[in-house]
Amino acid sequence: MENEKNHIIPYRTFLYVLALLITLTLTSVAITRIYLGTLTVMLALLIAAFKSSFVLRIFMHLKFEKRMFSFALIAVVLILCVVILITFLDYLYR
């Protein structure tokens, strides 16, 4: 943790993550072909969120950086969630 500058991620970690990401992509394509309704939207977005967590943590090194970066990212995501919530409350109950 102290010398995160010198942290080297092995090549194969990236390849494992890539295999997982491609599998998830194909899964989400397959799922959206089968299911119908609002469940599809939820599942597709859940898979997208799951995929992005790997991109952020491994590819973008968040897992190995100072925690400040992760906290700042969480803050940004929370801001977005709050804005989405407020916007939809407005449209649903107007």
Partner 1 sequence: MNMTPEIHRDDLTSKTGMWFFLFTEMLLFGGLFIVYSIYRFRNPVAFHLAAHELSIPIGTINTIILLISSTTIAMSITAIQKKAKKLALLLIGITILLGLAFLVNKYFEWGKHLKENIYPGSPVLALRGQGDVLFYGLYFFMTGLHALHIIVGLIFICVITSMIYRDKINYDNFVLLENSGLYWHLVDLIWIFLFPLFYLIT
Per CB under 8 A, residues contacting partner 1 are 5-6, 8-11, 14-15, 17-18, 21-22, 25-26, 28-29, 32, 40-41, 44-45, 47-48, 51-52, 55-56, 58-61, 65-66, 68-69, 72-73, 76, 79-80, 83-84, 87-88, 91
Asked whether 73 and 62 are in contact (CB, 8 A), the reply is yes
Q: Closest separation between CB of residue 93 and partner 1, Å?
A: 13
Least Å distance, CB 30 to partner 1, is 10
Q: How far is the CB of 57 from partner 1 (least distance, A)?
A: 11
State the minimum distance, in angstroms, from the CB of residue 71 to partner 1.
11
Q: State the Cα–Cα distance between residues 11 and 26, nearest whole angstrom.
A: 23
For residue 42, the number of C-alpha atoms closer than 13 Å in the C-beta half-sphere is 5
**CA nearest to 72, candidates 58, 62, 61, 84:** 62
